[in-house]
Amino acid sequence: MDVSAQHDASSSGNVDDVGEIMQAIAEHKGCGTTGGSGKASCGSQAGQGDLPTEIWEKVKNHPCYSEEAHHHYARMHVAVAPACNIQCNYCNRKYDCANESRPGVVSEKLTPEQAAKKVLAVASTIPQMTVLGIAGPGDPLANPEKTFKTFELISQTAPDIKLCLSTNGLALPDHIDAIAKFNVDHVTITINMVDPEIGAKIYPWIFYKHKRYTGYEAAKILTDRQLQGLEMLTERGILCKINSVMIPGINDQHLVEVNRAVKSRGAFLHNIMPLISSPEHGTVFGLNGQRGPTAQELKALQDSCEGEMNMMRHCRQCRADAVGLLGEDRSAEFTTEKIMAMEVKYDADTRKAYQEKVEEERVAKVAAKQEELAELAGASSDIKVLAAVATKGSGLINEHFGHAKEFQVYELSTAGAKFVGHRRVDLYCQGGYGEEDSLETIIRAINDCHAVFVAKIGGCPKGDLIKAGIEPVDQYAHEFIEKSAIAWFKAYLDKVNSGEIEHVERGDAAIRQGALISAA
Amino acid sequence: MPFKIIASQCTSCSACEPECPNVAIREKGGTFVIDPKKCTECIGHFDEPQCVAVCPVDNTCVIDTSLPRYQAPA
């Protein structure tokens, strides 16, 4: 079945015609926050903020499009699209895509029918699962029949689930009609460059119109098609997120230019991700020793682009078959074998009731933050510090230090608490006893933080953290993250002002390589 | 000599299957195989063999030297 519109899109339409829409979207800078250094993080205001209602409705429970939503809502990917039409130097398809999947383990490929069944099974088990994405392990639009058949089946059986896809953009202009037809209202395009000279260092080849292109020519075709596809989607009012892999020495400085190019074409959100490259992944970059950025390099680039548009900082570079909240992976619970054995009853009412409760929680969380912020109103200081948080979700400090698979990082200033990233860590607590090596790994991962907020922490790691200059904070166990972080920061400022402690800058931190995997 | 797929290198990504103008490629035992009777080396269809051009693993779609070259019908 060919559901895709195979017309040759020779023109993306006049930019002037769509200028107004693009401008309107661009001005909202992603999630309805205002500009300036002290602005709140994506979507974390009391709600809609300055976003038009129709855009807010699209992002408010999409964990990948709203930082605020990602504490509460889950997503899943179905691996129905194994084929790809380009080769990237950070990807080794022999073992799946290194940036989207756990390298070395081949995900189960699913047929569209199996995928539809899996979606229903997950939606019934995890009522806060609101989004179904197709992100590979190849490129969804290099597998258009499988991709759109999957969307068709899901839109029939579970119409409340949002559909989205993530593409390299090469085939995008050919499939705009099909994307619109199935109400896919979120599309992510991976754009790593707008200069073919740089592209030639990232993409060894593309397969386009029955021909393999290499070098400059390949990158030129790719960038033209990506930007054309972005303009066409914007014209239709389909929200676009741009993913960029930050590759130090190749495109790190250039991504500022990419940011401007995609913003001017109406992109909604820009997600700059660190390169994942270890020799064991077998990628070109992994094998030739290309390094990824440090935590501070990544943050500095994200900060420098933020004046232009909103930046996504909560991306977990997840697997093409991931299931759950962004910081967790429950895919092992939903193997094909297990799904086929499940009695699935799709109950839209239960899901709705659950999600209404989630919304109540969100309102309470925001109210608590606002209250605490008001207390901070009189304070004036240039001090900014980072704090790491152990959380299982819902915007609460509700994870033990030793059980945390990742820490969320907030930047604290007199403007409030702003989500600026996350750090994956190896499990520190294995079988009830601490391992020194993993503690060192954790300290390296959060070395740029002044404090770490946890629900609970043992005596030993507590001592080592203090020695490393990171204050373990367990007095806000099971309370809201932002409210607690602001309260702690206020006390920190008071201590600095009274001369009780001296404020010192922290060093850099390491970004752990390898995709997040579920705990064994 | 038609093309063949070296099974140990095939990632089973399926990219070649829809590109084959002769519908000579199908999945078999977890990887993909080319039917030598149907393969025309893309002669008369495209300038380059499509399976070779789209395959993500170099030297995986190769000429099968144990068979005679494809002869275009006169």
Task: Write the ipTM.
Answer: 0.92
Residue A191 predicted with pLDDT over 90 = yes
The reply to whether residue B46 touches residue A211, judged by beta carbons under 8 angstroms, is yes
Query: What pLDDT is stored for residue B1 in this prediction?
Result: 62
- Residue of higher predicted confidence among A216 and A513: A216
Whether omega before A137 lies within 30 degrees of 0, making that bond cis, reads yes
User: Is the Cβ of B13 closer than 8 Å to some Cβ of chain A?
Assistant: yes
- To the nearest whole Å, the CA of A138 is away from the closest chain B CA by 8
CB A265 within 8 A of CB A500: no
Task: Check which CATH number belongs to the domain holding B24 and give it.
Answer: 3.30.70.20
For testing the chain A interface, which of B10, B11, B57 should be mutated: the one with the most A CBs within 10 Å? B11
In a domain, residue A516? The reply is: no
> What does the pLDDT average to over A472-478?
93
CB A239 within 8 A of CB A166: no
Query: With bands split at pLDDT 50, 70 and 90, how would you rate the model's confidence at A19?
Result: very low
In a domain, residue B42? The reply is: yes
Least confidently predicted of A414-423, A431-440, A458-467: A431-440
In a domain, residue A510? The reply is: no
CB A441 within 8 A of CB A425: yes
Query: What pLDDT is stored for residue A330 in this prediction?
Result: 79
In a domain, residue A459? The reply is: yes
Secondary structure in 3-state letters for A54-106: HHHHHHCCCCCCCCCHHHCCEEEECCCECCCCEECCCCCCECECCCCCCCCCC
In a domain, residue A505? The reply is: no
Taking only the tens place, the pLDDT of each residue in A394-422 is: 788 999 998 888 899 999 998 888 888 88
User: Which chain B residue is nearest to residue A136, measuring alpha carbons?
Assistant: B13
DSSP-derived letter for residue A113 is H
Chain A residues in contact with B58 (beta carbon < 8 A) = none
- Residue of higher predicted confidence among A300 and B29: A300
In a domain, residue B72? The reply is: no
> What does the pLDDT average to over A10-31?
42
- Residue of higher predicted confidence among A335 and A207: A207
Whole-number percent of chain B with pLDDT over 90: 59
Could you say which of A83, A145, A210 has the minimum Cβ distance to residue B13? Answer: A83
- Name the amino acid, one letter, at A340: M
Cα–Cα distance, A255 to A359 (Å, whole number): 36
Cα–Cα distance, A403 to A72 (Å, whole number): 19
Query: What pLDDT is stored for residue A419 in this prediction?
Result: 86
Domain residues for A109? 22-33+41-341
The reply to whether residue B14 touches residue A207, judged by beta carbons under 8 angstroms, is no
Domain residues for B11? 3-63
In a domain, residue A17? The reply is: no
Cα–Cα distance, A100 to A433 (Å, whole number): 31
**Number of structural domains, chain A?**
2
Same domain, A204 and A243: yes
Residues B44, B46, B49, B55, Cα dihedral to 10°:
-150
Query: What pLDDT is stored for residue A43 in this prediction?
Result: 38
Query: What pLDDT is stored for residue A151 in this prediction?
Result: 95
Q: How many CB pairs under 8 A join A and B?
A: 46
In a domain, residue B29? The reply is: yes
What residue ranges in A197-310 does DSSP mark as E strands?
A: 205-208, 211-214, 239-246, 269-274
Query: What pLDDT is stored for residue A49 in this prediction?
Result: 59
Chain A residues in contact with B48 (beta carbon < 8 A) = 211-212
Same domain, A456 and A332: no
List all residues 6 or more positions away from A483 whose beta carbon is below 8 Å from its beta carbon. Answer: A365, A368, A369, A371, A372
* Other beta carbons within 10 Å of B42: 21
Cα–Cα distance, A32 to A119 (Å, whole number): 30
Cα–Cα distance, A199 to A194 (Å, whole number): 7
> Model-level pTM?
0.79
In a domain, residue B69? The reply is: no
Average pLDDT of chain A is 80
Quick one: tokens of A442? 């954790």
Query: What pLDDT is stored for residue A46 in this prediction?
Result: 38
Least confidently predicted of A14-23, A32-41, A341-350, B64-73: A32-41
DSSP-derived letter for residue A333 is G
**Number of structural domains, chain B?**
1
Of A401, A391, A454, nearest to A427 by C-alpha is A401
Same domain, A213 and A81: yes
Least confidently predicted of A256-265, A325-334, A499-508: A325-334
Cα–Cα distance, A25 to A183 (Å, whole number): 19
In a domain, residue B37? The reply is: yes
User: Which chain A residue is nearest to residue B53, measuring alpha carbons?
Assistant: A212
In a domain, residue B32? The reply is: yes
Query: With bands split at pLDDT 50, 70 and 90, how would you rate the model's confidence at A219?
Result: very high
In a domain, residue A318? The reply is: yes
Taking only the tens place, the pLDDT of each residue in A125-160 is: 888 888 898 987 889 999 999 999 999 999 998 888
In a domain, residue B38? The reply is: yes
Query: What pLDDT is stored for residue A513 in this prediction?
Result: 59
> What does the pLDDT average to over A225-236?
96
Q: What is the CA B56 to chain-centroid distance, rounded?
A: 13
Binding-site residues on chain A for chain B (CB distance < 8 A): 82-85, 87, 93-94, 106, 109, 137-138, 142-143, 145, 207, 210-212
User: Is the Cβ of B7 closer than 8 Å to some Cβ of chain A?
Assistant: no
Cα–Cα distance, A63 to A131 (Å, whole number): 8
User: Which chain B residue is nearest to residue A88, measuring alpha carbons?
Assistant: B56
Task: Check which CATH number belongs to the domain holding A196 and give it.
Answer: 3.20.20.70
CB A456 within 8 A of CB A401: yes
DSSP-derived letter for residue A477 is T
Residues in a beta bridge with A269: A241
Same domain, A171 and A51: yes
DSSP-derived letter for residue A470 is -
Quick one: tokens of A212? 């393999």
Same domain, A390 and A261: no
Quick one: tokens of A341? 């054995």
- To the nearest whole Å, the CA of B59 is away from the closest chain A CA by 13
Taking only the tens place, the pLDDT of each residue in A345-391 is: 777 888 888 888 888 888 888 888 888 888 777 777 888 999 999 99
Least confidently predicted of A107-111, A188-192, A367-371: A107-111
Query: With bands split at pLDDT 50, 70 and 90, how would you rate the model's confidence at A40?
Result: very low
CB A401 within 8 A of CB A460: no
Q: What is the CA B42 to chain-centroid distance, rounded?
A: 9
In a domain, residue B7? The reply is: yes
User: Is the Cβ of B14 closer than 8 Å to some Cβ of chain A?
Assistant: yes
User: Which chain B residue is nearest to residue A138, measuring alpha carbons?
Assistant: B13
- To the nearest whole Å, the CA of B16 is away from the closest chain A CA by 8
Residue A86 predicted with pLDDT over 70 = yes
